[in-house]
Chains A and B, each alone.
Chain A
Amino acid sequence: NAGVTQTPKFQVLKTGQSMTLQCAQDMNHEYMSWYRQDPGMGLRLIHYSVGAGITDQGEVPNGYNVSRSTTEDFPLRLLSAAPSQTSVYFCASTGGQFHNEQFFGPGTRLTVL
């Protein structure tokens, strides 16, 4: 199993540009999440999904959209990039024996100029 994969690993955008961060998992997990992590801080939940076709907002959803057309894929779209969105983005899926363990992808380091 590849686990949770994310592309790209690094990205530089100009203010106002849009882009999609890709996330995929091959563990057949229903629950997936997107987080952002700013330097020296914890992870903040952007959006999450409890299954294909169902998404909901987390703590910091403004400026981001998500969709979940399949169990495997959970892309995150930046609509109009702003410097405040410079961060590391992690995608995660939830599994484990009692669905208490989040498996994280390697992250995407995004810089918005």
Chain B
Amino acid sequence: GQSLEQPSEVTAVEGAIVQINCTYQTSGFYGLSWYQQHDGGAPTFLSYNALDGLEETGRFSSFLSRSDSYGYLLLQELQMKDSASYFCAVKEAAGNKLTFGGGTRVLVKP
């Protein structure tokens, strides 16, 4: 089986930087994904890391260390619209199955 751990909630002010950590224990590992979900909405894809290192996409960056079974999502220049839940998810080696973490609720304050 697989288990993923991430903090339940983070609060920050507009313009700040937030880092959401994700540690995982898996029997197989292909890559780590991040998804954003606004209240009442569907998850939307943010990033995918298969190799160690940092991937940058605009204000959001994602990092992976396979040797440490650890990754993080970095949200920069926070905006009010970034208030949402963020989920890490591990892609198993077989097929495209994803196992999701419990999610981190990010609250951005003015």
Q: What's the interface size class on B, roughly?
A: 20 to 34
Q: Which A56-98 residues sit within 8 Å CB-CB of chain B?
A: 58-59, 90, 94, 96, 98
A4-15 vs B, Cβ < 8 Å mask (1 yes, 0 no):
000000000000
A50 and B95 contact, CB distance less than 8 A: yes
* A102 x B98 contact (CB < 8 A): yes
- Please, how many residues of chain A have a CB less than 8 angstroms from a CB on the other chain? 26
**Cα distance A44–B89 in the bound complex, in angstroms:** 11
CA distance A44 to B98 in the complex (A): 9
Which of B33, B42, B91, B103 contacts A106, CB < 8 Å? B42
Number of A-B contacts (CB under 8 A): 58
Q: Which residues of A contact B48 (CB under 8 A)?
A: 96, 98, 100-101
Cβ contacts under 8 Å, B44 to chain A:
104
Q: A41-B103, A42-B102, A42-B103 are in contact. Are A103 and B97 (CB under 8 A)?
A: no
Chain B min CB distance to A23 (Å): 12
Instruction: State how many angstroms separate the Cβ of A11 from the closest Cβ of chain B.
Output: 16
Minimal beta-carbon separation of B86 from chain A (angstroms): 11
- Chain B residues packing against A (C-beta within 8 Å): 31, 33, 35, 41-45, 48, 50, 87, 91, 95-103
Write 20 A-B pairs (CB below 8 A) sorted by A numbering: A35-B100, A41-B102, A42-B87, A42-B102, A43-B43, A43-B100, A45-B97, A48-B95, A50-B95, A50-B96, A98-B48, A99-B96, A100-B48, A100-B91, A101-B45, A102-B96, A104-B44, A105-B42, A106-B41, A106-B42
Interface set of A (CB-CB < 8 Å, partner B): 31, 33, 35, 40-45, 48, 50, 58-59, 90, 94, 96, 98-107
Instruction: Kindly list 8 other residue pairs between chains A and B, CB separation below 8 angstroms, not including A102-B35, A104-B43.
Output: A33-B96, A33-B98, A41-B102, A50-B95, A90-B43, A101-B48, A102-B43, A104-B44
